[in-house]
Chains A and B, each alone.
Chain A
Amino acid sequence: GIQVEQSPPDLILQEGANSTLRCNFSDSVNNLQWFHQNPWGQLINLFYIPSGTKQNGRLSATTVATERYSLLYISSSQTTDSGVYFCAVEQGGGSEKLVFGKGTKLTVNP
């Protein structure tokens, strides 16, 4: 099956810093999503981005499908950005199975 690798596994920032999280995947995908799992465990959908670039406030994401990677940018980080960021992909061919990476744990210190 498709493999999803996220890097770095852990990231510690000072408030106000910028960061880039990476997601590599091993095959073509129909669907790619970025999720934020907050400290209470809730999974929040950040972006649905199988290709191209999207922005939402301080967050933006870019997926280069032909090169099989996606990047999540966080600018001017805040303590509320802390948590785990997951990349998840749905392989082509109608598999309807969302495969998750192991996540990047982000800690933003005041």
Chain B
Amino acid sequence: NAGVTQTPKFQVLKTGQSMTLQCAQDMNHEYMSWYRQDPGMGLRLIHYSVGAGITDQGEVPNGYNVSRSTTEDFPLRLLSAAPSQTSVYFCASSLSEGYYGYTFGSGTRLTVV
């Protein structure tokens, strides 16, 4: 089924560990982005990409790295997890030009202890 696939759905990390949240889309969308959702805060943009090889920072980029080597994949890396990164993470994609709706993945619930 066409859409945005995120893995894993749940993850528990210890402080200082690293991990990669995976995001893949099969709709040939150029734009992809990562958001985090915290209680009472809505969704906040972490990083985004307008195409393969091009990434940029969003509102809350500290502690996260991204790369976009293919159109389909946009992984989010936590290099040294901190309790403040406990959150629900959503990946989204949209067609080029930015004049179409965004499609979101089902989310990854991350807990850092």
Q: What distance in Å separates the Cβ of B109 from its nearest Cβ neighbour in chain A?
A: 8
CA distance A43 to B101 in the complex (A): 13
Q: Does A98 contact B (CB under 8 A)?
A: yes
Contacts A30-B99, A96-B98, A98-B33: A42 and B106 contacting too (C-beta < 8 A)?
yes
B43's contact among A45, A90, A95, A100, by CB below 8 Å, is which?
A100
CA distance A98 to B76 in the complex (A): 18
- Name the B residues within 8 Å of A97 (CB-CB): 33, 45, 48, 58
CA distance A95 to B31 in the complex (A): 11
Q: Does A99 contact B (CB under 8 A)?
A: yes
Contacts A41-B107, A96-B50: A48 and B101 contacting too (C-beta < 8 A)?
yes
Q: Are B103 and A31 in contact (CB under 8 A)?
A: no
CA distance A43 to B106 in the complex (A): 7
Chain A, interface residues (CB within 8 Å), range? 20 to 34
CA distance A94 to B90 in the complex (A): 22
Q: Are B88 and A45 in contact (CB under 8 A)?
A: no
- Name the B residues within 8 Å of A90 (CB-CB): 98
Which residues of B pack against A, CB within 8 Å?
Answer: 31, 33, 35, 40-45, 48, 50, 58-59, 88, 90, 92, 98-104, 106-107, 109
Contacts A31-B98, A48-B101, A86-B42: A98 and B92 contacting too (C-beta < 8 A)?
yes
A30's contact among B42, B58, B90, B98, by CB below 8 Å, is which?
B98
Q: Are A41 and B102 in contact (CB under 8 A)?
A: no
CA distance A95 to B106 in the complex (A): 24
Q: Are B42 and A103 in contact (CB under 8 A)?
A: yes
CA distance A1 to B58 in the complex (A): 11
Which residues 54-110 of A have a CB within 8 angstroms of B?
86, 88, 90, 94-103
Q: Are B98 and A48 in contact (CB under 8 A)?
A: no
Q: Name the CB-closest residue of B to A6.
A: B42
